[in-house]
Structure 1
Amino acid sequence: MMFLRKTLPTKLVDDIPLSTPIEELTFTVFDTETTGFDIAKTDRLIEIGAVQVKGYTVHEQKTFQTYVNPSRQISREITQLTEITNEHVFDAPTAQQAIEQLMNMATAENSTCLVGHYVTFDLYAFKYELKRQKLNWKQPKALDTLNLIGYIAPSYDMRDLEKYAREFGTRIYRRHSALGDALTTAYLFTELLEMCRDRGKTTWGDLLQIGSVGADTMSR
Protein backbone atom coordinates (compact mmCIF):
# COMPACT_ATOMS: atom_id res chain seq x y z
CA MET A 1 0.00 0.00 0.00
CA MET A 2 1.39 3.41 -0.97
CA PHE A 3 1.24 6.27 1.53
CA LEU A 4 1.27 9.77 0.08
CA ARG A 5 3.43 12.29 1.87
CA LYS A 6 1.92 15.55 2.98
CA THR A 7 3.44 18.72 1.56
CA LEU A 8 4.42 21.57 3.84
CA PRO A 9 2.59 24.72 2.68
CA THR A 10 5.06 27.32 1.40
CA LYS A 11 2.68 29.82 -0.13
CA LEU A 12 4.17 33.19 -1.00
CA VAL A 13 2.73 35.90 -3.22
CA ASP A 14 2.10 34.29 -6.59
CA ASP A 15 1.10 35.37 -10.08
CA ILE A 16 3.13 38.56 -9.93
CA PRO A 17 3.36 40.20 -13.36
CA LEU A 18 6.89 39.92 -14.73
CA SER A 19 6.76 43.64 -15.49
CA THR A 20 6.39 44.54 -11.78
CA PRO A 21 9.13 47.04 -10.78
CA ILE A 22 11.62 45.81 -8.18
CA GLU A 23 10.72 48.67 -5.83
CA GLU A 24 7.23 47.18 -5.47
CA LEU A 25 8.50 43.74 -4.43
CA THR A 26 9.08 42.35 -0.94
CA PHE A 27 11.75 39.74 -0.23
CA THR A 28 12.53 37.52 2.76
CA VAL A 29 16.31 37.26 3.02
CA PHE A 30 17.37 34.37 5.25
CA ASP A 31 20.28 32.24 6.40
CA THR A 32 20.77 29.06 8.40
CA GLU A 33 23.34 27.52 10.71
CA THR A 34 23.80 23.75 10.84
CA THR A 35 25.84 21.16 12.74
CA GLY A 36 27.87 20.55 9.57
CA PHE A 37 27.64 20.13 5.81
CA ASP A 38 26.31 16.56 5.53
CA ILE A 39 22.72 17.76 5.64
CA ALA A 40 21.37 14.80 3.66
CA LYS A 41 22.51 12.37 6.36
CA THR A 42 23.83 13.28 9.80
CA ASP A 43 23.82 17.07 10.09
CA ARG A 44 20.91 19.22 11.20
CA LEU A 45 19.64 22.79 11.40
CA ILE A 46 20.45 24.69 14.58
CA GLU A 47 19.39 28.26 13.70
CA ILE A 48 17.36 30.24 11.16
CA GLY A 49 17.47 34.02 10.77
CA ALA A 50 15.72 36.36 8.33
CA VAL A 51 15.05 40.00 7.53
CA GLN A 52 12.62 41.70 5.16
CA VAL A 53 13.65 43.75 2.15
CA LYS A 54 11.20 46.01 0.31
CA GLY A 55 12.48 47.05 -3.07
CA TYR A 56 15.96 48.42 -2.51
CA THR A 57 15.59 48.93 1.27
CA VAL A 58 16.43 46.62 4.17
CA HIS A 59 13.88 46.77 7.00
CA GLU A 60 15.93 45.89 10.09
CA GLN A 61 12.88 46.24 12.31
CA LYS A 62 11.33 43.24 10.56
CA THR A 63 13.55 40.34 11.52
CA PHE A 64 13.12 36.71 12.52
CA GLN A 65 15.46 34.47 14.51
CA THR A 66 15.07 31.10 16.15
CA TYR A 67 17.36 28.36 17.33
CA VAL A 68 16.44 24.86 16.19
CA ASN A 69 16.64 21.66 18.23
CA PRO A 70 18.77 19.27 16.12
CA SER A 71 18.05 16.20 18.30
CA ARG A 72 21.78 15.58 18.46
CA GLN A 73 24.83 17.07 20.15
CA ILE A 74 26.48 20.17 18.74
CA SER A 75 30.22 19.67 18.37
CA ARG A 76 32.74 21.89 20.12
CA GLU A 77 33.98 23.08 16.73
CA ILE A 78 30.52 24.26 15.67
CA THR A 79 29.96 25.96 19.03
CA GLN A 80 33.28 27.78 18.64
CA LEU A 81 32.29 28.86 15.13
CA THR A 82 28.67 29.89 15.77
CA GLU A 83 28.58 30.44 19.55
CA ILE A 84 25.49 28.18 19.60
CA THR A 85 25.56 25.71 22.47
CA ASN A 86 23.50 22.65 23.34
CA GLU A 87 21.82 24.78 26.00
CA HIS A 88 20.64 27.26 23.34
CA VAL A 89 18.82 24.55 21.38
CA PHE A 90 17.56 22.34 24.23
CA ASP A 91 14.07 23.90 24.36
CA ALA A 92 14.12 25.30 20.79
CA PRO A 93 11.50 24.47 18.15
CA THR A 94 11.92 21.45 15.91
CA ALA A 95 13.18 22.00 12.38
CA GLN A 96 9.67 21.62 11.00
CA GLN A 97 8.28 24.18 13.45
CA ALA A 98 11.12 26.63 12.71
CA ILE A 99 10.69 26.33 8.95
CA GLU A 100 6.95 26.86 9.33
CA GLN A 101 7.62 29.97 11.43
CA LEU A 102 9.92 31.38 8.74
CA MET A 103 7.40 30.71 5.99
CA ASN A 104 4.56 32.19 8.09
CA MET A 105 6.61 35.37 8.50
CA ALA A 106 7.33 35.52 4.77
CA THR A 107 3.65 35.00 3.96
CA ALA A 108 2.52 37.63 6.48
CA GLU A 109 4.89 40.16 4.91
CA ASN A 110 3.58 39.40 1.40
CA SER A 111 7.01 38.26 0.28
CA THR A 112 7.58 37.60 -3.38
CA CYS A 113 10.30 35.03 -2.73
CA LEU A 114 13.12 33.85 -0.47
CA VAL A 115 16.64 35.20 -0.95
CA GLY A 116 19.94 33.81 0.30
CA HIS A 117 23.67 33.62 -0.32
CA TYR A 118 24.38 30.15 -1.73
CA VAL A 119 20.70 29.60 -0.96
CA THR A 120 20.69 26.12 -2.47
CA PHE A 121 22.42 24.81 0.67
CA ASP A 122 19.79 26.33 2.96
CA LEU A 123 16.95 24.98 0.82
CA TYR A 124 18.53 21.52 0.83
CA ALA A 125 18.70 21.70 4.62
CA PHE A 126 14.97 22.46 4.71
CA LYS A 127 14.22 19.69 2.24
CA TYR A 128 16.00 16.98 4.20
CA GLU A 129 14.74 18.13 7.60
CA LEU A 130 11.18 17.89 6.30
CA LYS A 131 11.89 14.61 4.55
CA ARG A 132 12.79 13.12 7.93
CA GLN A 133 9.29 14.10 9.07
CA LYS A 134 7.73 12.42 6.01
CA LEU A 135 6.89 15.81 4.51
CA ASN A 136 7.45 16.96 0.96
CA TRP A 137 9.09 20.33 0.40
CA LYS A 138 7.56 22.36 -2.38
CA GLN A 139 10.29 24.85 -3.02
CA PRO A 140 9.10 28.45 -3.05
CA LYS A 141 10.56 30.90 -5.52
CA ALA A 142 14.11 31.79 -4.48
CA LEU A 143 16.89 34.12 -5.59
CA ASP A 144 20.57 33.50 -4.94
CA THR A 145 22.93 36.44 -4.49
CA LEU A 146 25.62 34.24 -6.04
CA ASN A 147 23.68 34.29 -9.30
CA LEU A 148 23.33 38.07 -9.15
CA ILE A 149 27.07 38.38 -8.47
CA GLY A 150 27.68 36.11 -11.46
CA TYR A 151 25.71 38.56 -13.58
CA ILE A 152 27.40 41.68 -12.20
CA ALA A 153 30.94 40.32 -11.88
CA PRO A 154 31.29 36.92 -13.58
CA SER A 155 35.00 36.63 -12.72
CA TYR A 156 34.20 36.16 -9.02
CA ASP A 157 34.37 32.49 -8.14
CA MET A 158 34.30 32.20 -4.32
CA ARG A 159 31.27 31.62 -2.11
CA ASP A 160 32.45 33.41 1.01
CA LEU A 161 29.80 35.95 2.04
CA GLU A 162 32.21 38.23 3.91
CA LYS A 163 34.58 38.42 0.92
CA TYR A 164 31.75 39.50 -1.36
CA ALA A 165 30.41 41.97 1.20
CA ARG A 166 33.82 43.60 1.52
CA GLU A 167 34.27 43.71 -2.25
CA PHE A 168 30.90 45.40 -2.71
CA GLY A 169 31.31 47.78 0.25
CA THR A 170 28.46 46.18 2.20
CA ARG A 171 28.06 46.50 5.97
CA ILE A 172 28.95 43.25 7.72
CA TYR A 173 27.12 41.85 10.75
CA ARG A 174 28.17 39.05 13.12
CA ARG A 175 29.43 36.12 11.08
CA HIS A 176 28.16 32.56 11.52
CA SER A 177 25.03 33.88 13.16
CA ALA A 178 21.95 33.14 11.06
CA LEU A 179 20.45 36.58 11.68
CA GLY A 180 23.80 38.34 11.31
CA ASP A 181 24.52 36.65 8.01
CA ALA A 182 20.94 37.27 6.86
CA LEU A 183 21.42 41.00 7.52
CA THR A 184 24.75 41.03 5.68
CA THR A 185 23.15 39.16 2.78
CA ALA A 186 20.21 41.58 2.73
CA TYR A 187 22.48 44.60 2.37
CA LEU A 188 24.58 42.81 -0.25
CA PHE A 189 21.35 41.94 -2.06
CA THR A 190 20.21 45.58 -2.18
CA GLU A 191 23.66 46.65 -3.44
CA LEU A 192 23.38 44.05 -6.20
CA LEU A 193 19.84 45.17 -7.04
CA GLU A 194 21.08 48.72 -7.50
CA MET A 195 23.87 47.50 -9.78
CA CYS A 196 21.31 45.50 -11.76
CA ARG A 197 19.16 48.64 -12.04
CA ASP A 198 22.16 50.52 -13.44
CA ARG A 199 22.35 47.81 -16.12
CA GLY A 200 18.68 48.13 -17.02
CA LYS A 201 17.42 45.18 -14.95
CA THR A 202 14.50 46.72 -13.09
CA THR A 203 11.63 44.21 -13.00
CA TRP A 204 10.58 40.95 -11.38
CA GLY A 205 11.05 39.20 -14.71
CA ASP A 206 14.61 40.49 -14.94
CA LEU A 207 15.40 39.14 -11.47
CA LEU A 208 13.97 35.74 -12.25
CA GLN A 209 16.07 35.58 -15.39
CA ILE A 210 19.40 36.32 -13.71
CA GLY A 211 19.01 35.33 -10.07
CA SER A 212 16.48 32.53 -9.59
CA VAL A 213 17.12 29.05 -8.24
CA GLY A 214 15.12 26.55 -10.29
CA ALA A 215 13.04 23.85 -8.65
CA ASP A 216 14.94 21.28 -10.71
CA THR A 217 18.10 22.05 -8.75
CA MET A 218 16.33 20.78 -5.63
CA SER A 219 15.12 17.49 -7.05
CA ARG A 220 18.16 15.46 -6.05
Structure 2
Amino acid sequence: MREIIFDTETTGFDPKNGDRLVEIGCIEMVNRVLTGRTFHAYFNPCRSMPAEAEAVHGLSEAFLADKPLFETRALEFLDFIGDSPLVAHNAGFDFNFINFELGQCGHPPVGRDRMIDTVALAKVRHPGAKLSLDALCSRYGIDRSHRTKHGALLDAELLAQVYVELRGGRQIGLELVAESLAVSTQSGAVLTLRKRVFRQPRPHAASADELAAHAAFVATLENPLWSS
Protein backbone atom coordinates (compact mmCIF):
# COMPACT_ATOMS: atom_id res chain seq x y z
CA MET A 1 0.00 0.00 0.00
CA ARG A 2 1.41 3.38 -1.05
CA GLU A 3 0.93 6.38 1.26
CA ILE A 4 2.26 9.94 1.14
CA ILE A 5 3.33 11.58 4.40
CA PHE A 6 3.44 15.35 3.99
CA ASP A 7 3.67 18.71 5.72
CA THR A 8 3.36 22.36 4.69
CA GLU A 9 4.63 25.72 5.86
CA THR A 10 2.60 28.88 5.26
CA THR A 11 2.46 32.61 5.92
CA GLY A 12 -0.37 32.18 8.41
CA PHE A 13 -3.46 30.23 9.36
CA ASP A 14 -6.12 30.81 6.71
CA PRO A 15 -5.82 31.16 2.92
CA LYS A 16 -9.18 32.95 2.86
CA ASN A 17 -7.48 35.81 4.74
CA GLY A 18 -4.68 36.10 2.20
CA ASP A 19 -2.23 33.58 3.66
CA ARG A 20 -0.28 31.42 1.22
CA LEU A 21 1.65 28.18 1.03
CA VAL A 22 5.44 28.63 1.06
CA GLU A 23 6.82 25.11 1.44
CA ILE A 24 5.66 21.53 0.99
CA GLY A 25 7.48 18.29 1.78
CA CYS A 26 6.20 14.84 0.81
CA ILE A 27 7.63 11.39 1.56
CA GLU A 28 6.59 8.15 -0.09
CA MET A 29 5.99 5.04 2.00
CA VAL A 30 5.00 1.63 0.67
CA ASN A 31 3.69 -0.86 3.22
CA ARG A 32 4.80 1.63 5.91
CA VAL A 33 8.43 1.47 4.73
CA LEU A 34 10.28 4.53 3.40
CA THR A 35 11.17 4.19 -0.28
CA GLY A 36 13.51 7.20 -0.41
CA ARG A 37 11.30 9.07 -2.90
CA THR A 38 10.39 12.62 -1.90
CA PHE A 39 8.86 15.79 -3.30
CA HIS A 40 10.05 19.07 -1.77
CA ALA A 41 9.56 22.65 -2.92
CA TYR A 42 9.59 26.25 -1.72
CA PHE A 43 7.18 28.77 -3.24
CA ASN A 44 7.10 32.54 -3.61
CA PRO A 45 3.89 33.62 -1.84
CA CYS A 46 3.85 37.01 -3.62
CA ARG A 47 3.21 38.74 -0.32
CA SER A 48 5.07 39.75 2.84
CA MET A 49 6.06 37.24 5.50
CA PRO A 50 4.62 37.99 8.96
CA ALA A 51 7.28 38.01 11.67
CA GLU A 52 5.41 35.45 13.77
CA ALA A 53 5.30 33.00 10.85
CA GLU A 54 8.99 33.49 10.04
CA ALA A 55 9.82 32.83 13.69
CA VAL A 56 8.24 29.38 13.33
CA HIS A 57 9.76 28.16 10.07
CA GLY A 58 12.61 30.61 9.39
CA LEU A 59 11.57 31.29 5.78
CA SER A 60 12.04 34.99 5.06
CA GLU A 61 10.55 37.09 2.31
CA ALA A 62 14.06 37.54 0.86
CA PHE A 63 14.71 33.78 0.81
CA LEU A 64 11.43 33.09 -1.01
CA ALA A 65 11.74 35.98 -3.48
CA ASP A 66 13.41 33.89 -6.21
CA LYS A 67 11.40 30.72 -5.60
CA PRO A 68 8.81 29.55 -8.18
CA LEU A 69 5.08 30.12 -7.92
CA PHE A 70 3.02 27.13 -6.81
CA GLU A 71 1.39 26.90 -10.24
CA THR A 72 4.73 26.14 -11.92
CA ARG A 73 5.13 22.91 -9.92
CA ALA A 74 1.48 21.99 -9.37
CA LEU A 75 1.48 19.20 -11.97
CA GLU A 76 4.71 17.77 -10.58
CA PHE A 77 3.16 17.73 -7.11
CA LEU A 78 -0.05 16.08 -8.36
CA ASP A 79 1.95 13.48 -10.26
CA PHE A 80 3.95 12.63 -7.14
CA ILE A 81 0.95 12.16 -4.85
CA GLY A 82 -1.05 10.28 -7.48
CA ASP A 83 -4.18 8.78 -5.96
CA SER A 84 -2.51 7.67 -2.72
CA PRO A 85 -3.81 8.40 0.79
CA LEU A 86 -2.27 11.59 2.23
CA VAL A 87 -1.09 11.58 5.85
CA ALA A 88 -0.54 14.83 7.76
CA HIS A 89 -0.58 16.13 11.32
CA ASN A 90 -3.70 18.25 11.76
CA ALA A 91 -4.37 17.38 8.13
CA GLY A 92 -7.34 19.69 7.64
CA PHE A 93 -5.02 22.70 7.88
CA ASP A 94 -2.69 21.37 5.17
CA PHE A 95 -5.57 20.30 2.91
CA ASN A 96 -7.07 23.80 3.13
CA PHE A 97 -3.88 25.38 1.80
CA ILE A 98 -3.16 22.76 -0.86
CA ASN A 99 -6.68 22.90 -2.25
CA PHE A 100 -6.68 26.70 -2.20
CA GLU A 101 -3.44 26.80 -4.18
CA LEU A 102 -4.70 24.16 -6.61
CA GLY A 103 -7.89 26.15 -7.13
CA GLN A 104 -5.91 29.31 -7.80
CA CYS A 105 -4.23 27.66 -10.78
CA GLY A 106 -7.27 25.86 -12.14
CA HIS A 107 -6.81 22.35 -10.74
CA PRO A 108 -9.54 20.38 -8.92
CA PRO A 109 -9.15 19.93 -5.16
CA VAL A 110 -7.71 16.84 -3.55
CA GLY A 111 -10.56 14.81 -2.07
CA ARG A 112 -10.73 14.77 1.69
CA ASP A 113 -11.64 11.09 1.56
CA ARG A 114 -7.90 10.59 1.01
CA MET A 115 -6.99 12.47 4.19
CA ILE A 116 -5.45 10.65 7.18
CA ASP A 117 -5.01 12.91 10.20
CA THR A 118 -2.41 11.74 12.70
CA VAL A 119 -3.86 14.04 15.36
CA ALA A 120 -7.13 12.10 15.13
CA LEU A 121 -5.23 8.79 15.30
CA ALA A 122 -3.27 9.99 18.35
CA LYS A 123 -6.45 11.12 20.15
CA VAL A 124 -7.79 7.57 19.92
CA ARG A 125 -4.53 5.94 20.93
CA HIS A 126 -3.53 8.42 23.65
CA PRO A 127 -6.67 10.15 24.96
CA GLY A 128 -5.94 13.18 27.11
CA ALA A 129 -2.24 13.26 26.20
CA LYS A 130 -0.36 16.05 24.40
CA LEU A 131 -0.71 15.53 20.65
CA SER A 132 1.85 17.88 19.12
CA LEU A 133 4.46 16.37 16.81
CA ASP A 134 7.14 17.14 19.40
CA ALA A 135 5.14 15.43 22.14
CA LEU A 136 4.57 12.31 20.04
CA CYS A 137 8.24 12.14 19.07
CA SER A 138 9.11 12.24 22.78
CA ARG A 139 6.54 9.54 23.56
CA TYR A 140 7.95 7.20 20.93
CA GLY A 141 11.63 7.99 21.46
CA ILE A 142 12.11 9.55 18.03
CA ASP A 143 15.20 11.77 17.75
CA ARG A 144 14.30 15.32 16.78
CA SER A 145 17.51 17.01 17.98
CA HIS A 146 18.17 18.30 14.44
CA ARG A 147 14.83 20.14 14.39
CA THR A 148 15.59 23.72 15.40
CA LYS A 149 12.67 25.20 13.42
CA HIS A 150 9.69 23.80 11.59
CA GLY A 151 10.42 22.60 8.07
CA ALA A 152 8.00 20.78 5.76
CA LEU A 153 10.29 17.95 4.67
CA LEU A 154 11.92 17.51 8.08
CA ASP A 155 8.55 17.43 9.81
CA ALA A 156 7.26 14.91 7.25
CA GLU A 157 10.27 12.70 8.02
CA LEU A 158 9.49 12.81 11.74
CA LEU A 159 5.79 12.30 11.11
CA ALA A 160 6.51 9.20 9.01
CA GLN A 161 8.10 7.59 12.08
CA VAL A 162 5.27 8.73 14.35
CA TYR A 163 2.68 7.42 11.87
CA VAL A 164 4.23 3.95 11.86
CA GLU A 165 4.07 3.91 15.67
CA LEU A 166 0.44 5.05 15.66
CA ARG A 167 -0.41 2.25 13.25
CA GLY A 168 1.19 -0.46 15.35
CA GLY A 169 4.82 0.33 15.93
CA ARG A 170 6.61 -1.82 13.36
CA GLN A 171 7.34 -1.30 9.69
CA ILE A 172 5.73 -3.99 7.56
CA GLY A 173 8.03 -6.04 5.38
CA LEU A 174 11.37 -5.64 7.19
CA GLU A 175 11.77 -9.32 8.14
CA LEU A 176 13.82 -10.06 5.02
CA VAL A 177 16.15 -7.04 5.02
CA ALA A 178 19.60 -6.71 6.53
CA GLU A 179 20.16 -6.13 10.26
CA SER A 180 19.38 -2.44 9.75
CA LEU A 181 18.46 -0.18 6.85
CA ALA A 182 19.72 3.42 6.82
CA VAL A 183 17.67 5.85 4.74
CA SER A 184 19.17 9.26 4.00
CA THR A 185 16.56 11.98 3.71
CA GLN A 186 16.71 15.17 1.69
CA SER A 187 17.16 17.31 4.79
CA GLY A 188 20.30 15.38 5.72
CA ALA A 189 18.81 13.32 8.53
CA VAL A 190 19.41 9.57 8.52
CA LEU A 191 16.56 7.33 9.64
CA THR A 192 17.64 3.86 10.76
CA LEU A 193 15.02 1.16 10.41
CA ARG A 194 15.94 -1.92 12.41
CA LYS A 195 14.68 -5.33 11.47
CA ARG A 196 12.80 -7.42 14.02
CA VAL A 197 15.09 -9.85 15.86
CA PHE A 198 13.70 -13.35 16.47
CA ARG A 199 14.90 -15.59 19.30
CA GLN A 200 16.01 -19.15 18.61
CA PRO A 201 13.40 -21.69 19.80
CA ARG A 202 14.12 -23.14 23.22
CA PRO A 203 14.69 -26.93 23.44
CA HIS A 204 11.65 -28.78 24.84
CA ALA A 205 12.68 -32.47 24.57
CA ALA A 206 12.98 -34.38 27.85
CA SER A 207 16.42 -35.63 28.88
CA ALA A 208 17.22 -39.33 29.42
CA ASP A 209 17.13 -38.85 33.21
CA GLU A 210 13.74 -37.14 32.99
CA LEU A 211 12.35 -39.98 30.85
CA ALA A 212 13.64 -42.57 33.31
CA ALA A 213 12.13 -40.73 36.27
CA HIS A 214 8.79 -40.52 34.49
CA ALA A 215 8.81 -44.24 33.69
CA ALA A 216 9.60 -45.08 37.32
CA PHE A 217 6.72 -42.91 38.52
CA VAL A 218 4.25 -44.46 36.07
CA ALA A 219 5.26 -47.95 37.27
CA THR A 220 4.03 -47.08 40.77
CA LEU A 221 0.47 -46.30 39.64
CA GLU A 222 -2.20 -48.91 40.38
CA ASN A 223 -4.82 -49.62 37.72
CA PRO A 224 -4.11 -46.52 35.57
CA LEU A 225 -6.97 -45.50 33.28
CA TRP A 226 -4.99 -46.09 30.10
CA SER A 227 -4.48 -49.80 30.93
CA SER A 228 -8.19 -50.65 31.21
* Shared fold (TM-score, shorter chain, > 0.5): yes
CA distance in 1, matches of 2:166, 2:117: 11
1:40–1:125 CA contact under 8 A, matched in 2: no
Q: Give 1:78 shift.
A: 2.4
What SS class does the counterpart of residue 137 from structure 1 fall into? coil
- Which of 155, 158, 170 is the equivalent residue of 2:128? 155
What does residue 179 of structure 1 align with? Answer: 153
Find the residue that maps to 1:51 and give its secondary structure: strand
Matching of residues 116-127 of structure 1 within 5 Å: 116-127=88-99
Task: Identify which of structures 1 and 2 has the higher relative contact order when contacts are C-alpha pairs closer than 8 Å and 6+ apart.
Answer: 1
Match of 1:190 among 140, 158, 164: 164
Please tell me whether the aligned partners of residues 45 and 68 of structure 1 are also in contact (alpha carbons under 8 angstroms): yes
* CA offset digits 1:30-64 (Å, max 9, x no partner): 000000112222111010011111223233x3222
Specify the structure having the higher radius of gyration (Cα).
2
- CA deviation digits over 1:137-159, x for unaligned, max 9? 14261211112212322333x44
Aligned 1:1-220 pairs, distance under 5 A = 25-59=1-35, 61-107=36-82, 112-139=84-111, 141-156=114-129, 158-172=130-144, 174=147, 175-195=149-169
**Which amino acid letter does the alignment assign opposite residue 58 of structure 1?**
L
What CA distance in whole angstroms lies between the structure 2 residues aligned with 1:98 and 1:33?
16
Task: State the Cα distance separating 1:80 from its structure 2 match.
Answer: 2.8
Please tell me the residue identity of whatever aligns with 1:162.
D
* In structure 2, distance between residues paired with 1:98 and 1:160: 30
Contact 2:123-2:131 within 8 A present in 1 as well: no
- In structure 2, C-alpha distance between the alignment counterparts of 1:84 and 1:171, rounded to whole Å: 23
- Alpha-carbon offset, residue 195 of structure 1: 4.5
Q: Distance in 2 between matches of 1:32 and 1:164?
A: 18
Q: Hey, what's the Cα distance between the residues in 2 that align with 1:195 and 1:148?
A: 13
Relative to 1, partners in 2 of residues 1:97 and 1:119: Cα closer, same or farther, differing over 3 Å? farther
CA separation of 1:82 and 1:119: change in aligned 2, threshold 3 A? same
Give the aligned length.
168
Identity of aligned residues (%): 27
Cα deviations by residue, 1:9-31 (Å, 9 ceiling, x for unpaired): xxxxxxxxxxxxxxxx1111000
Q: CA RMSD in A?
A: 2.3
2:21 alignment partner AA: L
The 3-state SS of whatever aligns with 1:43 is coil
Structure 2: give runs of 5+ residues left out of the alignment.
Answer: 172-228
> Would the aligned equivalents of 1:68 and 1:98 in 2 still touch at CA under 8 Å?
no
Alpha-carbon separation, structure 2, partners of 1:196 and 1:153:
18
